[in-house]
Amino acid sequence: MYLKACLAVCVCVVVFAAPSLAATASQASPHPNAASETEVMACRVLEAHASTSPAALVVIFHQQEKKDQPRLSALVKANSGSDAAIQVSSGAWIKTTVFRLRTCFGRGMLILPLGEAELKDGATFRIRFSKPVPK
């Protein structure tokens, strides 16, 4: 009897949840981890500093295109202290942490494990933020 009741509840959940799950899936990106283009920005390295102890790469960056400065500023502010991901050239996305530099308008700072990415002064990359700009 208990097993039949559990089975009935499971069937009801599936029947009622399936339409909403299908609608959500149809709205999702074809790549489950891909962010919308509004959350991805092309950026340029201003300074890159590597340290062996602790093993880290610190990157100071800003937008690649001047017109993107307000959007990047808002994204960095909304995501300061959060996880992000960067892509150098057409390589894999690399997990990083992004911070807003309060003393440098529109600038951000990345902290990466040493050896994860080859970034030098003037290099370009794309950054994918974990949170969109608040509206």
pLDDT recorded at residue 22: 39
What's the domain range around 77?
37-129
Averaged pLDDT for residues 121-128:
97
Using CA atoms, how far apart are residues 63 and 40, in angstroms rounded to an integer? Answer: 11
Higher pLDDT, 22 or 41: 41
Q: Flag whether 17 is in a domain.
A: no
Residue 108 lies in a domain: yes
Task: Say yes or no to pLDDT of 4 above 70.
Answer: no
pLDDT category, 19, cuts 50, 70, 90? very low
Residue 7 lies in a domain: no
67 inside domain: yes
- 134 domain-assigned: no
In a domain, 96, yes or no: yes
- pTM as predicted: 0.69
Domain presence at residue 4: no
100 in a structural domain: yes
Closest CA to 50 of 134, 113, 132, 135: 113
Q: Check which CATH number belongs to the domain holding 93 and give it.
A: 2.40.30.10
Q: Helix H segments across the chain?
A: 2-27, 69-79
What is the rounded CA–CA span in Å between residue 109 and residue 86?
A: 12
| pLDDT the model gives residue 66 | 94
Residues 85-111 pLDDT 10s:
999 999 999 999 999 998 877 799 999
What is the identity of the amino acid at 64?
Answer: Q
Number of domains comprising the chain? 1
